[in-house]
């Protein structure tokens, strides 16, 4: 696997799995929607730049970059999704499309590292292998997974390790996610732990290594497109699942169907799609996306923009706390005289829960507690609501910040810079215009 060390001209189209893209034939597969959708982009607010200064919706029209957000055109997918990369196909969900309690599949973000495989012809015959540091190597078809183990459905957040990356300065390498590399779906499947118990873990079992059917972008079958793993303790978490259902339907091909992993709370890259094999190892896995700076954060904080020493990095495990305003959308306009705004949003915190969400309408000078719902089950996100008063017409920003169950709050800015931009969980901000 090629490493990204010292690569000239950062490739901003990827979120950290270490690969070299040999040839890029942009647009050939035509995942981009028509330009007519640019208008929708402006309404839902993606035309409102938030890099350094926020600008009112009115003037955003005039200052928007010539090439606005590119909207996704993909069967079964909402055209409001924004394409971050075409090859591999990566698309995020604007915050305002994450307004449902359960993220509908059509709105769920897409992240691929390699080629998208053809849909399986006979899903029930799909096989996964469990091998390595186990007493009994298992080979199980989807049909057997469904009939031999206890089935559960759980609503859990899946979040890309690079979510929030676009807020880093200087820019970090990878897909420039805003906050939309996340969604919360109902996943149906079985506990990976039950399968590992059936296989019988040896005392030497330390780490998992996940393998899948998607080809590397280059088409080279000897290179996995992505192969990550987790500590055996996380693999044994009853919420770490092998799933075949998403929101009550068979898991769609684009989301890894027929069978994928969902390792909630940890970077989405551990949740292998098109799962074919889990190899149990006696040491940390070193597959594609495990080494160097991939899905790793600095131990000793580094100078932003510097190259970094791989020895100073640790694997990112639980994702940091994050909150979103899902309604209104950034750039929303309200009629003159509007004195009150009803806000809705979501918050989650990796392996932890969210203790509080606060909102501000005055750039953080004062904060108001939002009403926060309980998670449906562990790893579910928590929906929040708040009503805020506005003193006058004019331009306002709404900021939201969440605090996790250990008391750690979102920072004002993406901090603790690292080369591939993980852990960026700055407060979410939207701008609204009254009158």
Ligand X SMILES: Nc1nc2c(c(=O)[nH]1)N[C@H]1C(S)=C(S)[C@@H](COP(=O)(O)O)O[C@H]1N2
Q: Which residues bind ligand X (CB under 6 A)?
A: 15, 108-114, 158, 160, 212, 214, 225-226, 255-256, 268-269, 271-274
Partner that binds at residue 194, options Mo ion, ligand X, none, CB closer than 5 to 8 Å by kind:
none
Cβ proximity to ligand X, 70 vs 163, nearer residue: 163
Of 75, 78, 48, nearest in space to 61 by CA: 48
Cβ proximity to ligand X, 226 vs 390, nearer residue: 226
Residue 209 makes CB contacts below 8 A (sequence gap 6+) with 132, 227, 228, 229, 278, 279, 280, 281, 285, 287
420 forms part of the interface with Mo ion (CB under 5 A): no
Q: Nearest distance from residue 160's CB to Mo ion, in Å?
A: 3
- DSSP assignments along 276-295, one per residue: EEEEEESS---STTSSTTTT
Q: Nearest distance from residue 275's CB to ligand X, in Å?
A: 7
Cβ proximity to ligand X, 45 vs 289, nearer residue: 289
Contact set for Mo ion, span 232-271 (CB under 5 A):
268-269
Whether the CB-CB separation of 329 and 430 falls below 8 Å is answered with yes
Residue 2 makes CB contacts below 8 A (sequence gap 6+) with 18, 19, 20
Cβ proximity to ligand X, 317 vs 397, nearer residue: 317
Residue among 160, 192, 275, 431 that touches Mo ion (CB under 5 A) = 160
Partner that binds at residue 360, options ligand X, Mo ion, none, CB closer than 5 to 8 Å by kind:
none
The SS3 call for residue 384 is strand
Partner that binds at residue 163, options Mo ion, ligand X, none, CB closer than 5 to 8 Å by kind:
none
- Residue with nearest beta carbon to ligand X: 268
Cβ proximity to ligand X, 69 vs 268, nearer residue: 268
The 8-class DSSP code of residue 105 comes to G
Q: Nearest distance from residue 271's CB to ligand X, in Å?
A: 5
Partner that binds at residue 324, options Mo ion, ligand X, none, CB closer than 5 to 8 Å by kind:
none
Omega cis (within 30) before 88 = yes
Cβ proximity to Mo ion, 16 vs 41, nearer residue: 16
Cβ proximity to ligand X, 113 vs 425, nearer residue: 113
Strands 127-132 and 275-281, sheet pairing: parallel
Residues, the chain: 435
Whether the CB-CB separation of 191 and 136 falls below 8 Å is answered with no
Partner that binds at residue 383, options Mo ion, ligand X, none, CB closer than 5 to 8 Å by kind:
none
Cβ proximity to ligand X, 269 vs 330, nearer residue: 269
Q: Nearest distance from residue 10's CB to ligand X, in Å?
A: 18
Residue 167 makes CB contacts below 8 A (sequence gap 6+) with 178, 413, 414, 424, 426
Q: Nearest distance from residue 111's CB to ligand X, in Å?
A: 4
Cβ proximity to ligand X, 271 vs 420, nearer residue: 271
Q: Nearest distance from residue 58's CB to ligand X, in Å?
A: 34
* Residues 247-274 as b or e (16 or more Cβ within 10 Å = b): beeebbbbbbbbbbbbbbbbbbbbbbbb
Whether the CB-CB separation of 238 and 156 falls below 8 Å is answered with no
Beta bridge partners of 342: 387
Partner that binds at residue 214, options ligand X, Mo ion, none, CB closer than 5 to 8 Å by kind:
ligand X
Of 310, 156, 312, 311, nearest in space to 237 by CA: 156
Partner that binds at residue 115, options ligand X, Mo ion, none, CB closer than 5 to 8 Å by kind:
none
111 forms part of the interface with Mo ion (CB under 5 A): yes
Q: Nearest distance from residue 252's CB to ligand X, in Å?
A: 9
Q: Which residues bind Mo ion (CB under 5 A)?
A: 15, 111, 160, 268-269
């Amino acid at each position: 696997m090629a490493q990204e060390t010292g690569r000239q001209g950062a490739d901003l189209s990827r979120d950290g799995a270490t690969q070299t893209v040999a040839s890029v034939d942009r647009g050939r597969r035509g995942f981009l929607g028509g330009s007519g959708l640019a208008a929708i982009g402006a309404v839902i607010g993606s035309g409102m730049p938030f890099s350094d200064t926020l600008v009112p919706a009115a003037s955003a029209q005039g200052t928007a970059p010539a090439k606005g957000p590119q909207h996704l055109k993909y069967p079964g997918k909402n055209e409001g999704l924004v394409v971050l990369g075409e090859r591999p196909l990566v698309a995020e969900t604007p915050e305002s499309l994450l307004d449902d309690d359960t993220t509908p599949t059509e709105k769920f973000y897409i992240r691929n590292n390699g080629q998208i495989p053809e849909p399986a012809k006979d899903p029930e015959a799909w096989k996964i292998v469990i091998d390595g540091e186990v007493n009994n190597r298992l080979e199980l078809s989807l049909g057997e997974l469904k009939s031999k183990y206890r089935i559960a459905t759980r609503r859990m957040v899946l979040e890309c390790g690079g979510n929030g990356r676009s807020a880093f300065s200087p820019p970090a390498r990878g897909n420039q996610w805003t906050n939309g590399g996340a969604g919360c779906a109902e996943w149906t499947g079985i506990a990976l732990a039950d399968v590992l118990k059936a296989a019988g873990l040896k005392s030497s079992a330390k780490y998992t290594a996940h393998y899948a059917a998607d080809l590397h972008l280059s088409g080279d079958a000897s290179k996995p497109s992505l192969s990550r793993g987790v500590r055996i303790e996380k693999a044994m978490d009853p919420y770490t699942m092998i799933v075949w259902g998403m929101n009550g339907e068979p898991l769609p091909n684009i989301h890894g169907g027929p069978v994928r992993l969902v390792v909630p709370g940890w970077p989405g890259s551990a949740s292998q799609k098109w799962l074919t094999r889990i190899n149990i190892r006696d040491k940390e896995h070193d597959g594609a996306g495990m080494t160097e700076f991939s899905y790793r954060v600095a131990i000793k904080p580094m100078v932003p923009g510097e190259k970094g020493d791989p020895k100073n990095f640790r694997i990112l495990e639980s994702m940091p706390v994050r909150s979103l305003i899902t309604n209104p959308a950034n750039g929303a306009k309200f009629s003159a005289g509007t004195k009150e705004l009803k806000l809705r949003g979501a918050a989650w915190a990796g392996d932890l829960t969210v203790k509080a969400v606060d909102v501000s309408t005055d750039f953080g000078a004062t904060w108001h507690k939002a009403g926060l719902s309980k998670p449906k089950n562990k790893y579910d996100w928590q929906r929040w609501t708040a009503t805020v008063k506005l003193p006058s017409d004019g331009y306002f920003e709404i900021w939201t910040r969440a605090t996790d169950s250990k008391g750690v709050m979102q920072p004002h800015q993406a901090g603790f810079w690292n080369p591939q931009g993980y852990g960026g969980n700055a407060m979410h901000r939207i701008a609204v215009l009254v009158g």
